[in-house]
Structure 1
Amino acid sequence: MTVMAERALQTSQMSVEEFERIAAFAAKETEDAVRFEFINGRIGVKKVADGDHDTIVMWLARRCMRARPDLDLYQSRGLHVEKYREGRARPDATLVPEAHFAGHGEWADPSGVLLVLEVTSYDSDKNQRDRQEKPVAYGAAGIPFYLLIDRDACTVKLYSDPDPEVGYRELRNVPFGDRLLLPEPLGIELDTEKLKEYVD
C-alpha cells in the first residue's frame, strides 16, 4: 500500500473520490483479499468471507431463485449509500429485479434495490458496522429491506419501513430455526432451521 493510502486510512474523514481511488488500488494490490467500504465519512475494511459465511449467502440465493426467479441476487455489489451519495457499501448480497445492474459501474445507485443482506463476520468491527451503521445507511438510502443474519446471536433480523432520518422504523428478530416472511413485494418465506449448521 502506498504512503498516501496509509495516511488516508488513518484519517477519520476523506472525500468519496479519495476513497474510490484507494479502494480500486487496494483491490488490485491485494487481489480482493479485503474490500473497502465508506460509511459516515470513515473507511472500513471488509475481510474476505469464510466458507460458512458464503454458504449462508448461497442459502438465501437458492430460496430466492425458487420463490422468485424474476429476481437476481448479486454478491458484494457496490452501492451508493447515505444522503447525497457520500458513502459506499458492499453488502454481502443485493436482491434486485432481473438484470437491474446491467450497464452500471462499480458503485450503483440503490434505487430499485429490494433487499440487502449482511452476514456477520467474526471480526471486532461487526457490531458497529453491521448492527449500527448499516441499518441507518441502508434505510436512509431508501432500500425497503435489510436482512441481517447474525451468527453470534443466532438470529435473523429483518429491518423494514425505511426512513431517511433514522434508517428503519421496524425490526423483526427471529432465532435460527423459526420461519421469517419477507413481505411484499418479495413474498418469500424463509425457514431458517438450516442456518444452525453454519455457526461455530
Structure 2
Amino acid sequence: MSRTVVRVYSDYKSPYAFVAVRPTLALAEAFDLALEWRPYTLRIAEYLGSVDDRGPHAWRRVRYSYMDARRYANKQGLTLKGPKRIYDGYHANAGMLFAQKHDFFERYHWTVFERFWKHELDIDVPEEVAAVVAECGGDAEAFKAYAEGAGRTEMTAVIDEAEAMGVFGVPMYVLDGELFWGGDRLDLLKERLAERQGG
C-alpha cells in the first residue's frame, strides 16, 4: 500500500512556516505520510506593502503576526527574532530544491530555518547559504551555479504550478488537490487524513 502524499509549501522567511515544521513532521509520523516540501517565495511587499509605504493598519498587522508566531515558537522552545528587513529568500529556497536533489534536505531545512530566525544567517547572501549547503554535506560551488542557472527556471516552474492550484501563502498543505493554509489548519488536515484512512 502506497503512502499518502501531502505537499507542503514553505518559505524560510515566514515565521508561521517555521513554527509549523515540527507539528507537520509529527502529523506525518502519525499518519505515515510522504511529505513533498516545495518552496513558495512570498512577495511580501505585494500584500503588506514596502516598509516605506505601510500605513498604521499594516504595521499593526505585522507586529501582531510576529507576536503571534512567537507564542507558537515559545511553546516549542524555539528562538524567533523579528526580521531585520524585508527579505526575498530566493537563494535559501533554491537551496531547498538543491538539497532535495542531493539527499541532505532534512538537515538543510532545519538549519536554515533555525539560523535565520536567530539572526545567524542572511538568506539573501548566496555565500552564506552556500556555506550551509557545504556544512550539510553538499557542494557549495555546485549550489551557487545551480542557484544562478537551472534553479531560477525550476523555482519559477514550482511557483507557477503552486499558483495554478490556488496557493498564495505558507505553510500551505495540499492533499488530493484540497488546500489547507496555515499550521492552525493541521487539525482539519488531520480530519481529512483520518477520513481517507477510514478512521
TM-score bucket (shorter structure) = under 0.3
TM-score by length of 2: 0.26
Q: Choose between structure 1 and 2 for higher RCO, CA contacts under 8 A separated by at least 6 residues.
A: 2
* Greater fraction of residues in strand: 1
